[in-house]
Amino acid sequence: MKSLFLRAILIGAIALGPAPLRAATDGEVAAHEAVLDLAGAFTNDGFKLRDGDVAGTLKSGEAVVVQVDLYAGNQYWFSVATADPKTAVSISLYDESGKLLDTSPYIDPHRAAAGYSPDVSGPYYVRLTNPGAPATYCLIYSYK
């Protein structure tokens, strides 16, 4: 009977569809550790961490846009960090019309976060920008 529970949940874990998987680089692992450290503060405030992330490398002066889907009534924190503690990154959130939203900001030397509570369910866009040196980054989010 115990194994039944286990199996139910493990197979339940297949619920998400396929993503292109590959081994994480050392930089991505470092960026992930850094952003988890930041998101831990939100977890302590009752936010649940989504077990997915977007990671990659941004050259100096580049930006990347990531689509997310949010539900009205929930609160969200989007957190990003770079692998190098000296390399800054910034984060901003846009609605589905592309309009910049007012978010609760958090910024430190190589990490940033944006908090938002949507009034409308639907697609939103997270924009990461790298004003400095080339950076390996990791983006995650939390909700409650």
Partner 1 sequence: MIVSRLILVGMLALAGTRAWAATGPMPQLSADMMAQAVEDDTFSIPTPGELLAALNKEGKPNWQAQYRPPIPTTYTSRPQIALNLGGLIADGYLAVEAEDSQQVKNIGKDIMTLAKTLGISEDVLRRGKSIEDFAENNEWSTLKEELEATQNEVKLAMDDQHDEELTTLVTMGGWIRGTEAVSGWIANNYTAPEAKLLRQPAIVALLRKKLEALPAKTRNDELVKSLDGPLRTIQTMVSFPPGQTPTQADVKSLHDTAADLISAITTNK
122 binds partner 1 (CB under 8 A): yes
- The 3-state DSSP class for residue 107 equals strand
Interaction with partner 1 in 60-89: which residues (CB under 8 A)?
61-74
Q: Which of 85, 105, 107, 120 binds partner 1 (CB under 8 A)?
A: 120
14 binds partner 1 (CB under 8 A): yes
Query: Which is nearer to partner 1, 61 or 85 (by Cβ)?
Result: 61
Q: Which of 82, 83, 92, 135 binds partner 1 (CB under 8 A)?
A: 92
104 binds partner 1 (CB under 8 A): no
Q: Would you call 68 exposed, middle or buried from its count of C-beta atoms within 10 A (0-12, 13-18, 19+)? A: middle
**Distance between alpha carbon 48 and the CA centroid of its chain, in Å?**
12
